[in-house]
Structure 1
Amino acid sequence: MMHEKKVPMRMCSGCGEMKPKKELVRVVKSPEQEISLDLTGRKPGRGAYVCRNINCLKAARKARRFEKAFSCKIPDEVFDRMEEEISRNE
């Protein structure tokens, strides 16, 4: 008997929908307290997920979801850089 492989699901910080992990972008807070996009999904640190959609990133930013997930203040330039990277990879 073949078992179907379980697809890991994660919640988008913007829209709140559960989606397959591969469809989302990981935002990571490294052990050095640096916040960045992790397009490979392999960087060490605490992760939160967001759709590859600029509107979801903006919704997560407005609701301060990443700041709550990482329990720290996130500078605007970090969000600007993330918005740039997501719009480039959309």
Structure 2
Amino acid sequence: MALLHRVSRVYAVLATAVPVFGPGTAVAMGVLGDGWLIASLVLTAAAGALLGARILPDRAEVVAALGGGNDRAVALARDLSMTSGMFALLWRSSSS
């Protein structure tokens, strides 16, 4: 779980390149005002916000609970799985 948390933190940093460089690429391609691009950027931003605001902090809490032998880890992991599923849906929808 600790490895997954570290990978997710790196992924979150690298994923910021999508909304940062996306509009510049869209301008170069002449598609900045297209509906599909706007929807994709909104979904990507929502997924990124969910990742930064909920998933990463919740994973850190699960890792801490697992290290301390805490029984709360199961309940925390259950909540995390729901939030991670919502993230996956948003991220996948943004790239379709």
Per the TM superposition, whether the score is higher than 0.5 is no
Q: Which has the higher contact order (CA 8 A, sep 6+)?
A: 2
Q: TM-score by structure 1 length?
A: 0.30
Which one has the bigger helix percentage? 2
- The structure number with the bigger radius of gyration is 2
